[in-house]
Amino acid sequence: MAQHDVETVSRSGMRMRATREEVDSILSRWQNGAAVESARETLEKYGMPDEVTEKRFIWHNNGPWKRTMVVDEAIPHHYPKEHTDSLYQVIPYRINRDKACDALKFDGSVLIDAVKGEIGSRCDKEKANFMTTNMAVEIMEGRRSVEDARRFMATSMLEGKNKEYMSSFQFTPMSEESARDPGRRPEL
């Protein structure tokens, strides 16, 4: 497989290789302009996706992310300003179950999977996903309240402040193995 080719699944379910031209052709059929923009920005930064379907592109272990996915969808979101969400990004992180609800109260775009040990965000831009993930972790680690995190993110994003929170993690991501939490079987 050439470096620019990726595996995709056709509508019939058959596996095939996707070239850049095929990826561009798929993008030309997407309905959501913001998703197209997110996909193009992600392609430019991280190269060809590892998985391609008619409605989604997925990258694995790209940059600091465990997984990045752009979906041809437009989920309306009004915080901290109006936009549509279509860019999903997650990292390995052991979820503090006692504080997970607070992280979800902070922003509905926070993505949490305690069993897999993943945290991340769904937004329109990678910088917003960095910011949201940083805030969710700070809430779960007890360093910020929900209200403080909402104010900090809104001020930072709308006024262009605290750019380090929009370009990198302000904590150390975990290994996939140490992030998982399969739970415990109850004693009967």
Overall pTM > 0.85:
yes
Q: What 3-state DSSP class applies to 115?
A: coil
Q: What is the mean pLDDT of the chain?
A: 91
Question: So what's the pLDDT on residue 82?
Answer: 86
User: Distance between CA atoms of 95 and 29, rounded to whole angstroms?
Assistant: 37
12 falls in which pLDDT band (50, 70, 90)? low
Question: Is the distance from CB of 133 to CB of 46 less than 8 angstroms?
Answer: no
Point out which residues pair with 75 in neighbouring strands: 85
User: Distance between CA atoms of 142 and 136, rounded to whole angstroms?
Assistant: 10
Q: Which has more confidence, 12 or 71?
A: 71
Point out which residues pair with 18 in neighbouring strands: 6
Q: What would the mean pLDDT of 90-117 be, rounded to a whole number? A: 96
